[in-house]
Amino acid sequence: MSANHKECQDCGWQGMAAELDETDDGSGSQTRIFCPDCGGLDINDLNPDEKKEAPE
């Protein structure tokens, strides 16, 4: 996966950044992205290269 893969923390949706819905806040200064499934705003990057190390 690349940095373009995203995950919604609200519903667990996973997909490409291009699949996310977008809207601007009306002032034209900021675009908000949200989940296409639930409309949640808590979208994180999926970074499979950053694996947490398990204690041995």
Average model confidence (pLDDT) across the chain: 80
Determine what percent of the chain is predicted with pLDDT higher than 70: 70
Give Cα 40 to chain centroid, integer Å.
10
Residues 23-34: what's their mean pLDDT? 77
**pLDDT tens digits, one per residue of 6-26:** 999 999 999 998 899 888 767
Answer for the pair 39, 32: CB distance below 8 angstroms, yes or no.
Answer: no
Buried residues in 14-45 as b, exposed as e (16+ CB within 10 A): ebeeeebeeeeeeeeeeeeebbeeeeeeebee
One-letter identity of residue 21: D
pLDDT at 48: 57
pLDDT at 1: 45
Answer for the pair 38, 11: CB distance below 8 angstroms, yes or no.
Answer: yes
